[in-house]
Protein backbone atom coordinates (compact mmCIF):
# COMPACT_ATOMS: atom_id res chain seq x y z
CA UNK A 1 0.00 0.00 0.00
CA UNK A 2 1.44 3.39 -0.99
CA UNK A 3 1.78 6.28 1.45
CA UNK A 4 -1.11 8.03 -0.31
CA UNK A 5 -3.36 4.99 0.03
CA UNK A 6 -2.41 4.69 3.70
CA UNK A 7 -3.49 8.28 4.36
CA UNK A 8 -6.79 7.80 2.52
CA UNK A 9 -7.33 4.65 4.58
CA UNK A 10 -6.86 6.71 7.77
CA UNK A 11 -9.45 9.21 6.58
CA UNK A 12 -11.82 6.35 5.82
CA UNK A 13 -11.26 4.90 9.30
CA UNK A 14 -11.92 8.27 10.95
CA UNK A 15 -15.21 8.68 9.10
CA UNK A 16 -16.41 5.17 9.91
CA UNK A 17 -19.90 4.31 8.67
CA UNK A 18 -20.37 7.75 7.10
CA UNK A 19 -17.66 7.17 4.51
CA UNK A 20 -18.83 6.54 0.93
CA UNK A 21 -15.96 7.32 -1.40
CA UNK A 22 -12.71 9.22 -1.77
CA UNK A 23 -10.30 9.89 -4.64
CA UNK A 24 -7.23 11.95 -5.39
CA UNK A 25 -7.71 13.11 -8.94
CA UNK A 26 -5.53 14.87 -11.50
CA UNK A 27 -6.98 17.73 -13.50
CA UNK A 28 -7.09 15.31 -16.43
CA UNK A 29 -9.96 13.62 -14.55
CA UNK A 30 -8.03 10.43 -13.74
CA UNK A 31 -7.89 9.15 -10.17
CA UNK A 32 -4.44 8.21 -8.85
CA UNK A 33 -5.70 6.72 -5.55
CA UNK A 34 -8.91 6.11 -3.71
CA UNK A 35 -11.99 3.92 -3.69
CA UNK A 36 -15.54 3.52 -2.55
CA UNK A 37 -17.40 1.30 -0.11
CA UNK A 38 -20.56 1.46 -2.21
CA UNK A 39 -20.50 -1.13 -4.98
CA UNK A 40 -22.56 0.86 -7.50
CA UNK A 41 -20.80 4.19 -6.92
CA UNK A 42 -18.84 4.87 -10.11
CA UNK A 43 -15.79 6.66 -8.74
CA UNK A 44 -14.11 6.78 -12.18
CA UNK A 45 -17.06 8.71 -13.57
CA UNK A 46 -17.22 10.86 -10.43
CA UNK A 47 -13.53 11.76 -10.78
CA UNK A 48 -13.93 12.75 -14.43
CA UNK A 49 -17.08 14.77 -13.86
CA UNK A 50 -15.81 16.59 -10.81
CA UNK A 51 -12.56 17.43 -12.61
CA UNK A 52 -14.75 19.33 -15.07
CA UNK A 53 -16.59 20.99 -12.18
CA UNK A 54 -13.36 22.06 -10.49
CA UNK A 55 -11.94 23.44 -13.75
CA UNK A 56 -15.07 25.46 -14.39
CA UNK A 57 -15.23 26.57 -10.73
CA UNK A 58 -11.66 27.89 -10.99
CA UNK A 59 -12.56 29.72 -14.21
CA UNK A 60 -15.76 31.18 -12.79
CA UNK A 61 -14.08 32.31 -9.59
CA UNK A 62 -11.33 34.03 -11.54
CA UNK A 63 -13.78 35.73 -13.92
CA UNK A 64 -15.88 37.19 -11.14
CA UNK A 65 -12.83 38.34 -9.18
CA UNK A 66 -13.11 35.90 -6.27
CA UNK A 67 -9.52 34.66 -6.78
CA UNK A 68 -8.63 30.99 -6.26
CA UNK A 69 -11.13 28.24 -5.41
CA UNK A 70 -10.42 26.34 -2.23
CA UNK A 71 -13.24 23.84 -2.13
CA UNK A 72 -16.64 22.93 -3.46
CA UNK A 73 -19.41 21.34 -1.43
CA UNK A 74 -22.51 19.74 -2.92
CA UNK A 75 -25.26 18.79 -0.51
CA UNK A 76 -27.81 16.34 -1.88
CA UNK A 77 -30.61 14.55 -0.07
CA UNK A 78 -28.31 11.51 0.12
CA UNK A 79 -24.76 12.75 0.51
CA UNK A 80 -22.20 15.50 0.93
CA UNK A 81 -19.72 15.67 -1.95
CA UNK A 82 -16.67 17.77 -1.08
CA UNK A 83 -13.84 18.48 -3.49
CA UNK A 84 -10.81 20.62 -2.69
CA UNK A 85 -7.71 21.57 -4.59
CA UNK A 86 -4.38 20.17 -3.37
CA UNK A 87 -1.03 21.96 -3.39
CA UNK A 88 -0.40 23.79 -6.66
CA UNK A 89 -3.88 22.98 -7.98
CA UNK A 90 -2.82 20.20 -10.35
CA UNK A 91 -4.76 17.66 -8.28
CA UNK A 92 -7.92 17.72 -6.21
CA UNK A 93 -9.21 15.52 -3.45
CA UNK A 94 -12.83 14.41 -3.45
CA UNK A 95 -14.68 12.95 -0.50
CA UNK A 96 -18.24 11.65 -0.43
CA UNK A 97 -19.95 11.00 2.91
CA UNK A 98 -23.50 10.19 3.92
CA UNK A 99 -25.89 12.87 5.17
CA UNK A 100 -25.47 11.37 8.65
CA UNK A 101 -21.92 12.74 8.75
CA UNK A 102 -21.23 15.91 10.73
CA UNK A 103 -20.33 18.36 8.01
CA UNK A 104 -18.18 20.60 10.21
CA UNK A 105 -16.16 17.60 11.31
CA UNK A 106 -15.68 16.40 7.72
CA UNK A 107 -14.44 19.83 6.61
CA UNK A 108 -12.04 19.95 9.58
CA UNK A 109 -10.78 16.47 8.74
CA UNK A 110 -10.12 17.55 5.15
CA UNK A 111 -8.22 20.61 6.39
CA UNK A 112 -6.10 18.34 8.57
CA UNK A 113 -5.27 15.80 5.88
CA UNK A 114 -5.00 17.96 2.73
CA UNK A 115 -1.31 18.82 3.22
CA UNK A 116 -0.35 15.23 4.03
CA UNK A 117 -2.15 14.02 0.93
CA UNK A 118 -0.47 16.60 -1.28
CA UNK A 119 2.96 15.62 0.10
CA UNK A 120 2.20 11.96 -0.61
CA UNK A 121 1.23 12.59 -4.26
CA UNK A 122 4.12 11.21 -6.39
CA UNK A 123 5.85 14.08 -8.21
Partner 1 sequence: MAIQGHLGEMGLATLIQLTCQEATQARLTLRRDDQEAVLYFDRGNIVHALSADQEGKEVVYRVLTWKDGEFRLEMGIPPPARTIETPWSALLMEGLHRQDEERWETLDAEQIQREEEFAMPENMNDILKELSGQVPGFIAAAVVGMDGLDIAEYAAGPVDVESINAQMTLLFKLVDGAVDKLKAGVIEDYLLTTEKAYLLIRPLSDRNYYLGIVADRKSGNVGNMRLNSRIYAERLSKAMPK
Of 94, 92, 99, whose CA–CA distance to 76 is shortest?
Answer: 99
Question: Minimum distance between the CB of residue 100 and partner 1, rounded to whole angstroms?
Answer: 13
Residues across the chain: 123
Please identify, using beta-carbon distances, which residue of 1 and 77 lies nearer to partner 1. Answer: 77
Question: Minimum distance between the CB of residue 23 and partner 1, rounded to whole angstroms?
Answer: 12
Residue 49: half-sphere exposure toward Cβ, Cα within 13 Å: 6
3-state secondary structure of 61: helix
Distance, CA of 11 to CA of 9 (rounded, Å): 5
By CB under 8 A, tell whether 42 contacts partner 1. Answer: yes
Please identify, using beta-carbon distances, which residue of 10 and 73 lies nearer to partner 1. Answer: 73
Chosen residue from 25, 33, 46, 114 binding partner 1 by CB under 8 A: 46
Residues 61 to 120 in contact with partner 1, rule: CB under 8 A: 61, 63-79, 81, 96, 104
Amino acid sequence: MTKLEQILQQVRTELGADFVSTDVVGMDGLSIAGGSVVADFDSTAASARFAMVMKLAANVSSKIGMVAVEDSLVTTDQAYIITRFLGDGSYFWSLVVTRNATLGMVRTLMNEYADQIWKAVPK
